[in-house]
Amino acid sequence: MTKKKLCPACGKENAFSEIVGVCKDCLLKNFDELWQKIELRHKEIRRTFGLPESAPKDSSGVQCKFCANECRIPKGSSGLCGVRKSDGKTIAGGDKLGYLSHYFDPLPTNCVTQFCCAASKENFSRLRRKAYNLAVFYAACNFSCLFCQNWHYRRGLKRIQPITHEELASSLNDKTYCICYFGGDPTCQIAHSILASRDAMRIKPNIKICWETNGSMNPRLLEATLKIALKTGGTVKFDLKAYTESLHFALCGTSNKRTLENFLLAGKWFKLRKNPPLIAASTPLVSGYVDQAEVKKIAQFIASIDPDIPYSLLVFHPDFCMGDLAITSRDTALECYEIAKRIGLKRVNLGNIHLI
């Protein structure tokens, strides 16, 4: 059951997290008043991990164009992600060298798009223990999600020894069926993943290559990933964490404008290959905040592009700074699923159902 308590702003019994301070209704009604306090909490959390409190905008800094933050990084400092660094003239990190961990995962994996990806079209009994996914976890992110499920990497970020894209690609073997880039998020090291993918395609032409991302990268870099995914039979999965921008700011510390714009861009590519899907989307059902109303908006947005785009609703497990929330209730998860179906989406999945 969703934990409910009296919201200090409206006095109503609602589910809300102390880190946000109010329920969703009050957040949306009074965002301009509340944002300053919520933003301070985001900054405090980032400072705890030795990360920049906000995206640097130094007028004399070098501009990074990898993602929507478009940090202007002063000499000797890093961007919001912590890996893109400036020497005063150029920016390095996340291109030739990647801060990551990688491992082989037997198929079928727990990838978000496993219900519709290229591997799902194969006979899993044949693939099991005979084929593997190269899972590449990029240890950096350009968002600041309060509900992050993989936040633990931040503790050891400074101890990671970066590797070249050639070294990553050379780890492929005869049993490697696919590569999946995730994190953190691949966005702030997107060039490294593109270079590694090109190396991998030369080493093993039949490799499948996928990305799981917040989708906020430079549009030109997004198109590079789409070309690779299209050619290899892979999928680019967007995590649409919210549709309402103020809610996205509160939960993730930044705007979702670039993500939505990029999803529209990717939607134009979707018709080039629908099966297995070139793109897909997912949404974590953050208790009390990403609810039926928010899912309806996201589903309508996806359907307006193409109702065949696969959409996975993820049951939320409370973690990181929102551990005071409850797991998504079964009723809410099923209602969100039915809403997405009624909107007209043809390929809706409910993920993490083992939690409920």
pLDDT digits (tens, 9 = 90+) for 72-129: 999 999 999 999 999 888 888 889 999 999 999 888 777 888 888 888 766 555 666 6
215 touches 238 (CB < 8 A): yes
pLDDT (0 to 100) of residue 159? 78
Sign of the dihedral defined by the CA atoms of residues 207, 351, 260, 66, in that order: negative
DSSP state of 301: H
pLDDT (0 to 100) of residue 195? 98
Of 252, 327, 246, the closest CA to residue 286 belongs to: 327
DSSP state of 155: G
> What distance in Å separates the CA atoms of residue 249 and residue 257, rounded to the nearest whole number?
10
The full set of domains in the chain, from first to last, is 97-355 (3.20.20.70)
> What distance in Å separates the CA atoms of residue 3 and residue 312, rounded to the nearest whole number?
24
> What distance in Å separates the CA atoms of residue 136 and residue 149, rounded to the nearest whole number?
16
pLDDT (0 to 100) of residue 147? 97
pLDDT (0 to 100) of residue 107? 84
pLDDT (0 to 100) of residue 1? 46
> What distance in Å separates the CA atoms of residue 78 and residue 57, rounded to the nearest whole number?
11
Tokens of 154: 């931040």
pTM metric for this prediction = 0.94
Tokens of 214: 């917040």
Residues 6+ apart with CB under 8 A from 143: 185, 214, 216, 252, 253, 254
Cα angle value 36/143/312 (rounded, 5°): 115
> What distance in Å separates the CA atoms of residue 350 and residue 312, rounded to the nearest whole number?
6
pLDDT (0 to 100) of residue 268? 97
Residues of the chain predicted below pLDDT 50: 1-2
Helices (H), the chain: 24-29, 31-48, 124-127, 165-169, 190-203, 219-232, 245-252, 257-270, 292-305, 330-343
Helix (H, G, I), strand (E, B) or coil at 100: strand
pLDDT (0 to 100) of residue 124? 59
DSSP 315-330: E----GGGTTS-PPPH
118 touches 235 (CB < 8 A): yes
Residues 6+ apart with CB under 8 A from 252: 143, 144, 145, 146, 214, 241, 242
